[in-house]
Chain A
Amino acid sequence: MATASETPHIALTLRDHLPILQVLIPLCTAPLIVLLGDRRVAWGLAFLAAMLSLVVSFLLMMQVMDGSFISYHLGGWAPPIGIEYRIDAANAFVLLLISLTATLVLPFALRSVADEIPARSHTLFYACFTLVLTGLLGVVATGDAFNVFVFLEISSLATYVLVSQGLYRDKRALSAAYDYLIMGTIGATFFVIGIGFLYMTTGTLNMADMAERLVGQGDNRTVQAAFAFIVVGMGLKVAIYPLHLWLPAAYNYAPSAVTVFLAATSTKAAVYVLLRFMFSVFQPEFVFDTNLLLWILAPFALLAMFAASLIAVFQTNFKRMLAYSSIAQIGYMLLGISLFSVTGLSATMVHLFNHGITKAALFMAVGALVLRSGNTFYDRIEGMGRVMPLTGAAVVLGGLSLIGVPGTAGFISKWVLVQAAFEAGLWWIALLIVASSLLAVIYMWRVVEILYLHTPHPEAIHKEAPLSMVIPMWIAAGACVWFGIDTSLTMGAANTAAIGLMGGTDGMALTPTVGGLLGNGH
């Protein structure tokens, strides 16, 4: 290594450190919360960490909006030897969604958690919450395949704990958390087996380097097996239709604040990883050659859109209904991928964000209803829209966005998706998208009817939810409208991300300085 006198080191500034700070801030907050062990401090620290993460992800987003990328070398070791954090438009967008949701959920959680979880568990609850945030941000920020797995486990393990905290309201939260643990672990195992195969073939764990070495390996059985393992493993985390069984119970029995956070972020981060591996590590051509999109992804996406929506129609619990609706919405994201075009991927990316904020608003309304009526069975929340006008209106707004009514965020993503279907010449898919949206009309109307056209349940507390819940709920609901009208941020980022992803390896090109190092490494 060079001595200081030969090449003077230019000290890195805070701006250079942004990619690591994104993960580091919540990572350090979690143990700090445990170390201080004070439940009043715990919430404050968690909220501070979430807010700082939001600032960092916003700054990162601004830097990569033009299609460039930032590479941060951990420990000063240049990739492919060292671990690299790599921020481009695709993951900056997801980072923004995750940290934004965390910042919104925490003020909401203050009252909701106090109501649903005994005080002695609060410290560890917020520590776990920050760990989930760390894991999700890490999964998205890193450019190292094995690092993805490690962060995936950090977020998943903490998530299982959070889901199980619903046990104070319903003991079934324990079995829900256990199911999720088993399914999630199988998913993570498959994923790491896939990475193992890739490592065997390429001898590297850096995604960009891996991508470069996988070029022309399309006939290699090991690579094909790796692809299958990674898609199925991530599919479990994404809850692709036949692999979704953990999701309804986990969402339903988890504490309200946890459901909001999970619904808005965790499956979205998994969709991002799936995209990253399919299009950046493996080549778009490779994905196309395996016929995965045509024979597996597209049919299951369509199946999810209809089957899950139909199941949602017949639910008797608002929260569970929304969980099934989430599975259907994931169908739209997968459909966007399977259309295999820049427009299709833009639709996926933008729906990822739009559905995130929509479900955040809706699940926050669920949390508010739980606080006042005890649970969200339809016979229990009857007429609550009249006594909780703000919550009721948020449900209506979120519902409109879920259906995809013009002027809401949901419309934008469905519009782009329909556009992508027409571009591919598949007009019947466009028709199916519209038809499945009609199912959303049915299940959302059922809720609206129950909330407004009945007399309130006598045992419920007839009072609007506290402001600490209503304000985050309305920020999310307002965002549904805002991003339905001003799409410059969302569509801009989604487009840049989609172009980068469809570019395949070019979208992951190594920095020139590292390229020279790589030449004699093979």
Chain B
Amino acid sequence: MKEHHLILRVVTKSLVGTIILFAFYVQFHGDFSPGGGFQAGVIMAVAFILYGIVFGLHEVQRVLPAWVVHKLVALGVLVYAGTGIWNMFLGYEFLHYGSFTPDHMSHGQHSGILYVEAGVGITVTGVMVAIYYAFAGRTPRLGNDDW
């Protein structure tokens, strides 16, 4: 593996950073242009999946271990729900982003969207990578004789 696919490996290494950067662009620019947490999460996951495809599952899991991925999945949901709970503590309805800046509701809406989209991005990244890990790392738990 080390000797082969030199071009693939070099190109992948240079692409991964760019892909992650683009993911962040889509993430933070989501409220002005097409994009948002879901798309950004998928793009972010693509960076890891590409790395995994070229360098192998073992290598990518050194960067992003499976247990971290599982925690990411849960963390994103909590970020989303936590934003809503924060709104509740501010005295408004669940996910009423306007409550962040009661004097200028639309500013609050902007920041609220940013927070929940961050949550979406984290979870989608986690789920996509987790699906890839699950397929790529699939070793049958049940042998044929166990049935």
Interface residues of A (CB under 8 A from B): 1, 3-4, 9-12, 17, 20, 24, 27-28, 30-32, 34-35, 37, 72-76, 171
| Residue B110 at the chain A interface, CB threshold 8 Å | no
| Residue B98 at the chain A interface, CB threshold 8 Å | yes
B103 CB to closest chain A CB, in angstroms? 5
| Known contacts A1-B98, A12-B93; is-contact A24 B81 (Cβ 8 Å) | yes
Chain A residues in 8 Å Cβ range of B106: 1
| Known contacts A4-B102, A24-B84, A34-B70; is-contact A72 B75 (Cβ 8 Å) | no
Which 9 interchain pairs have the tightest Cβ spacing? A11-B91, A31-B74, A76-B96, A34-B74, A75-B95, A1-B105, A31-B77, A35-B74, A20-B94
| Known contacts A4-B103, A9-B102, A12-B88; is-contact A74 B73 (Cβ 8 Å) | no
B29 CB to closest chain A CB, in angstroms? 22
Chain A residues in 8 Å Cβ range of B81: 24, 27-28, 31
| Residue B58 at the chain A interface, CB threshold 8 Å | no
Which residue of A3, A9, A75 contacts B97 across the interface (Cβ within 8 Å)?
Answer: A75
B79 CB to closest chain A CB, in angstroms? 10
Chain B residue at minimal CB-CB distance from A31: B74
Chain A residue at minimal CB-CB distance from B141: A167
Evaluate contact between B91 and A12: CB separation under 8 angstroms: yes
Chain A residues in 8 Å Cβ range of B96: 75-76
A31, B88: Cα distance in complex, Å: 19
Given A9-B102, A37-B70, A76-B98, 19 more pairs with CB closer than 8 A: A1-B106, A3-B103, A3-B104, A11-B91, A17-B93, A20-B93, A28-B77, A28-B81, A28-B82, A30-B74, A30-B77, A31-B75, A32-B74, A34-B71, A34-B73, A73-B93, A74-B95, A75-B94, A75-B95
A20, B87: Cα distance in complex, Å: 13
Chain B residue at minimal CB-CB distance from A19: B94
Evaluate contact between A75 and B75: CB separation under 8 angstroms: no
Chain A residues in 8 Å Cβ range of B92: 9, 11-12, 76
| Residue B147 at the chain A interface, CB threshold 8 Å | yes
Chain B residues in 8 Å Cβ range of A17: 88, 93-94
A475 CB to closest chain B CB, in angstroms? 31
Convert B103-122 into 0s and 1s, putting 1 for each residue whose CB lies closer than 8 angstroms to a CB of A.
11110000000000000000
A503, B88: Cα distance in complex, Å: 34
Chain B residues in 8 Å Cβ range of A12: 88, 91-93
The binding surface of chain B is classed by DSSP as: helix
A31, B126: Cα distance in complex, Å: 13
| Residue B85 at the chain A interface, CB threshold 8 Å | yes
A30 CB to closest chain B CB, in angstroms? 8
Evaluate contact between B93 and A72: CB separation under 8 angstroms: yes
B120 CB to closest chain A CB, in angstroms? 13
Most chain A C-beta atoms within 10 Å of own C-beta, residue among B88, B90, B146: B88
| Residue B21 at the chain A interface, CB threshold 8 Å | no
Chain A residues in 8 Å Cβ range of B104: 3
| Residue B78 at the chain A interface, CB threshold 8 Å | yes
Chain B residue at minimal CB-CB distance from A14: B88
Evaluate contact between A75 and B93: CB separation under 8 angstroms: yes
Chain A residues in 8 Å Cβ range of B142: 171
Chain A residue at minimal CB-CB distance from B91: A11
Evaluate contact between A74 and B93: CB separation under 8 angstroms: yes
Chain B residues in 8 Å Cβ range of A3: 103-104
Evaluate contact between B78 and A28: CB separation under 8 angstroms: yes
A34, B70: Cα distance in complex, Å: 8
A1, B105: Cα distance in complex, Å: 7
Q: Which of B58-79 contact A (CB under 8 A)?
A: 67, 70-71, 73-75, 77-78
A508 CB to closest chain B CB, in angstroms? 21
Chain A residues in 8 Å Cβ range of B105: 1
A75, B142: Cα distance in complex, Å: 47
21 pairs, CB–CB < 8 Å, chain A vs chain B: A3-B103, A4-B102, A9-B92, A11-B92, A12-B88, A12-B91, A12-B93, A20-B88, A24-B81, A24-B85, A24-B94, A28-B85, A31-B74, A31-B78, A32-B78, A34-B73, A74-B93, A75-B93, A75-B94, A76-B98, A171-B146
B101 CB to closest chain A CB, in angstroms? 10
Chain B residue at minimal CB-CB distance from A167: B142
A10, B74: Cα distance in complex, Å: 33
A432 CB to closest chain B CB, in angstroms? 44
A4, B146: Cα distance in complex, Å: 67
Chain B residues in 8 Å Cβ range of A32: 74, 78
A370, B147: Cα distance in complex, Å: 22
Convert B47-61 into 0s and 1s, putting 1 for each residue whose CB lies closer than 8 angstroms to a CB of A.
000000000000000
A10, B102: Cα distance in complex, Å: 12
